[in-house]
């Protein structure tokens, strides 16, 4: 009888390889893993081949494309709140989506605890006191005048610049002042809720161009008469000097008129810095808390926008570094065109790096 041969069971692949003395198979890496990117390189290759059959696509093209898209996908987090100058697209945020009060987070927290507060009030509720009725006409309030606006300090609402003004970026300065970049239309400059508006003008303090014309339309005849009286009392404005008039018919209390230097004139850059500092000093003399700066060297003054933004921000920063205390708490840059907004966003971002 023939003996049966014992056939051993087959070895697993790895054992067979080791029995042969070969190396174990390495795990297959994807093209994305080999390139060190997260986005799928193979899918990028398929996208590139779609509709481009007549073109030869190199092996490095999908890797480069995946790396670029991955980089761009991370930009919104890296450049949050930053607009690239001349980028072509600016953030257009509806004012309703922005928190109108500086304490927006605190307000949201307080809303969650409203039921608890109502329970406490209901427990400690006391009988209401009875009030005697006072005879008189209802619904009429005494008409406010410019003198009343001057006599009541800090009368403006601290909720922000108001409707029609979108805050795009904000920075804190040396003494804690808040510097905000605001987008709006030039026709709405007279409705901004600040205590003083800066009006870039000339020696005659005319209101023909830009901001001055918008302020005249907002303030009406009363504001125009106040400026005429200021001209008679003050005389021609010297370069970099300022004069203050009541902001009749506007939400603000005062308008600070400043004679901005011409680009190319002698020491024009130093004069522009001096103009900004004089505006801030005039606001501090009135014990004001907020002021709105439009683009100062506008139109006929001919300053390059990049140079003007650098000089104005430098002057504001140096002013608060040099002074020991200031009544000013909020400074708004109110800009009306996309180019200026992009430039100021770029220059304000540099304040953190300094």
Please name which of 187, 191, 188, 215 lies closest in space to residue 201, comparing C-alpha atoms.
215
**Look-up: residue for tokens 């002057």?**
315
pTM of the model: 0.58
Query: What is the C-alpha separation between 102 and 118, in angstroms, rounded?
Result: 25
Q: Is the dihedral of CA 144, 150, 153, 155 positive or negative?
A: positive
Please name which of 249, 230, 244 lies closest in space to residue 190, comparing C-alpha atoms.
249
Other C-beta atoms within 10 Å of 151: how many? Answer: 9
Do 214 and 189 meet the contact criterion of CB atoms below 8 Å apart?
A: yes
pLDDT by residue for the chain (354 residues), tens digit each?
Answer: 555 555 666 655 554 454 555 556 667 788 888 888 888 888 888 888 886 766 788 888 888 888 888 777 776 665 555 555 444 444 445 555 554 444 444 333 334 344 444 444 454 544 444 444 444 445 444 444 544 444 444 444 455 788 899 999 888 887 788 999 999 999 999 999 999 999 999 899 988 878 999 999 999 999 999 999 999 998 899 999 999 999 999 999 999 999 999 988 889 999 999 999 999 999 999 999 999 998 877 556 778 888 999 999 999 989 988 888 899 999 999 999 888 899 998 888 887 655
């Amino acid at each position: 009888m023939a003996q049966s041969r014992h056939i051993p069971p087959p070895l697993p692949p790895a054992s067979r390889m080791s029995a042969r003395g070969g190396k174990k198979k390495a795990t297959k890496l994807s093209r994305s893993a080999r390139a060190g990117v997260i986005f799928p390189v193979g899918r990028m290759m398929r996208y590139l081949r779609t509709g481009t059959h007549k073109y030869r696509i190199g092996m490095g093209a999908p890797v480069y494309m995946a790396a670029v898209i991955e980089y761009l996908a991370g930009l919104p987090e890296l450049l949050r709140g930053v607009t690239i100058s001349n980028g072509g697209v600016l953030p257009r945020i509806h004012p309703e989506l922005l928190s109108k009060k500086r304490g927006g987070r605190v307000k949201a927290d307080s809303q969650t605890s409203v039921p608890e507060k109502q329970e406490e009030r209901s427990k400690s509720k006391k009988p209401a006191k009875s009030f005697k009725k006072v005879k008189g006409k209802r619904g009429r309030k005494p008409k406010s005048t410019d003198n009343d606006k001057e006599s009541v300090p800090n009368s403006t609402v601290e909720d922000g610049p108001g409707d029609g003004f979108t805050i795009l970026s904000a920075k804190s300065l040396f003494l804690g002042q808040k510097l905000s970049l605001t987008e709006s239309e030039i026709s709405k400059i007279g409705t901004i809720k600040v205590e003083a508006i800066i009006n870039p003008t000339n020696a005659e303090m005319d209101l023909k161009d830009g901001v001055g014309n918008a302020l005249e339309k907002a303030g009406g005849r009363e504001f125009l008469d106040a400026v005429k009286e200021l001209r008679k009392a003050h005389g021609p404005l010297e370069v970099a000097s300022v004069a203050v008039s009541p902001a009749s018919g506007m939400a603000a209390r005062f308008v600070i008129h400043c004679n901005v230097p011409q680009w190319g004139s002698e020491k024009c850059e130093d004069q522009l810095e001096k103009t900004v500092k004089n505006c801030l000093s005039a606001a501090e003399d009135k014990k004001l808390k907020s002021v709105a700066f439009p683009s100062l060297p506008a139109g006929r003054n001919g300053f390059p926008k990049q140079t003007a933004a650098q000089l104005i921000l430098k002057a504001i920063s140096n002013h608060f570094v040099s002074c020991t205390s200031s009544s000013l708490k909020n400074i708004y840059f109110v800009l009306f065109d996309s180019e200026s907004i992009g430039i100021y966003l770029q220059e304000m971002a540099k304040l953190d790096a300094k």
